[in-house]
Amino acid sequence: MEDPFNWDVDRMVQELCSPGRTWIPSQQVEACLREQGADGHTILTYPDESELCESLGIKTLKYKNAFKHYLKRLKQDIEVIELSDDDDNDNQVLTQK
């Protein structure tokens, strides 16, 4: 899996605005992502998720909650990728001995 932290704006649009997402309207979210140049690094390190939702036009509590939950999952995926990379490095060190 590719690290969401490294996603460009187009990939963020693909992930956040694809059909079936629970935050609406996706066209407005897409326009805001593109206007703000919001890539994976920007979205995942933004210090205030409520402000981020407002900036992206996600205003309804239900949709804000769903969006914040999705961000939490992405951040957990990053942790898994980092742990996996650490394990790979450990295995490389072990095989080099």
Domain count, the chain: 1
State the average pLDDT over residues 66-76: 92
φ, ψ of residue 31 to 5 degrees: the values are -60, -40
pLDDT at 1: 63
Which strand (E) or helix (H) includes residue 12? helix 9-16
Domain CATH code at residue 83: 1.10.150
Closest CA to 69 of 77, 14, 82: 77
Q: Which domain holds residue 64?
A: 4-96
Structure tokens that stand for 59 in this block: 């205003």
Q: Is 77 exposed, middle or buried (0-12, 13-18, 19+ CB in 10 A)?
A: middle
pLDDT digits (tens, 9 = 90+) for 41-67: 999 999 999 999 999 999 899 999 999
State the average pLDDT over residues 64-91: 78
Instruction: Please determine, for residue 93, whether its predicted confidence score (pLDDT) is greater than 90.
Output: no
Q: What percent of the chain has pLDDT over 90?
A: 54
